Structure 1
Amino acid sequence: TLDPLATGVLPICINEATKIVQFLINDDKEYEADLKLGVETDTQDLFGRVIRESCQIPGDHNKIIDTFISFEGNIKQKPPVFSALKYQGTPLYKLARRGIYVDTPEREIHIFKINVTKIDLPYVSFNVSCSKGTYIRTLCADIGNRLGCGAHLVRLRRIRSGSFYIKDSHSLDELEVLLKNGAVKDKVIPLDKALNNLPQIKVNDDLARRVRHGKQIIVDDVKDICLFHIKTGERLRITSLKDDLIAVGESLITSPLTDKKDGWDMICKLIRVFNT
């Protein structure tokens, strides 16, 4: 990781679960973080070189809180030069370490919620839930710029990644103890539960077998199944009646079925089939 101070949730996929990585990387994230006002660094965190200091730190707590809240919603963010994004095949951080700084284009991200939890100037603690691709280091720097005094990140802890929460996480030391006691398997999250944020279609054993062999699901296959809250274009999980994950697909319908569909019309396009 390029954030050596970062701690918290990191989903790890093993064996058959490596197939679901592509469905996890787009998940929303939630963080706890601390920033320090009045100091800017070239890496936007406490490990960087100080490039500017200011004594003009606002003392009005309401102004600070309002500034944080002003970042909620769709915003533009310029990725930091010390990041894993690539320019002409080379990671930006490698170029930056050689003194080559690439002007990266802004990207649109979404801040769902940002909440200041403590102000002890020059430090401010906050929680933020955001879309994938959000750089909390850059968010801190942008908040500092808007306050007119600069800022950098001093602590970062991911408390949620998609449907994975910090309360369900285990440290490497804890896993080592569990492994010695033969109990580590009890902590492995089943595939279906790992994707329980996706809408579900349950199919009988015969259809499950055919889907595993690549058969697409058509309207007649699910005419006796209630389909709720499915939208065209979104990902959905196909499971057995026992909740074993069979496949992930992309919905070709919106439920309930308001348009007349032919019995041979496909319900979804299979993206990945699992050997569970």
Structure 2
Amino acid sequence: MNVIIYLRVSSEQQANRELSIPAQREALERFAADKGWTIVDEYIDEAKSAKTADRPEFQRMIAAAQQSDKNFQAILIHKFDRFSRSREDHIVYKALLKKQDVSVLSASEPTEPDTPHGLLLEGMLEVISEFYNMNLKHETIKGMKENAIQGFHCGGRAPYGYRLHRSGSRVTYVLGPDEEIQTVKLIFQWAAEGTGGKKLARMLNELEASRGSERRWSPSTVLSLLGNHAYLGYRTWNKKSEVNGCKNDPNEWIMAKNCHAPIISEQLWQAAHEVLSTRKILKPK
């Protein structure tokens, strides 16, 4: 039988030698040789999560399986979670492949897909894989929530005017260059005086040019900075949903105060946002 092999490793797993691409390839080649199968091609997705089927080589492999002149009868993988960690994707893509007379076989989790017991075992392995993925995500979010409550950094870049500082396993913000700090104060001061986003961006670009800097400000960047509570010394997390990326209700935000040195005062923040709120009300839709 001719087979193709599919190899995948996520960015989090790349340091794991047992799951590395060479280790997977060696295991699949050895398994195929023992069975007397011929490997005719391979598809590799590196640093790709199996939470979604939106993987370039995975999709190219599925497309190849749908060709009438394909020269293979099965896809060989190391474990079923290399194929996908989504039960739904397992069902959809395996059903599609079955119509093309292509089987999905695992070297380390061998099953007999054409028997009731084999089908049951394969389904159980897929469910366990999805459970592991969902549970890991839940535990990660729980850890990030606790991290945020204590006022520590939960990923991403530091806001303009700050830099990241690591102490052991914890990351906090420290003040950045004085030039950036003064710029942040100017932005809030100008906003409190009634300057709109477009004019603010223009004034900032003129300021940057006078400094010989190539940095360019846009109105959206300025307004995003004005809405960042980090400048008050707060640490805010969960503004956006981890599931769909949509903005969460402010009541769901986790906000810790006095986490790092503030750049502006509460009074200046309030003054700037009172003006911004007024401009939003007066601006025609």
Shorter-chain TM-score range: under 0.3
Structure with the largest fraction of strand: 1
Structure with the largest fraction of helix: 2
Q: Select the structure of larger CA radius of gyration.
A: 2
What is the TM-score of this pair, normalised by structure 1? 0.26
What is the TM-score of this pair, normalised by structure 2? 0.26
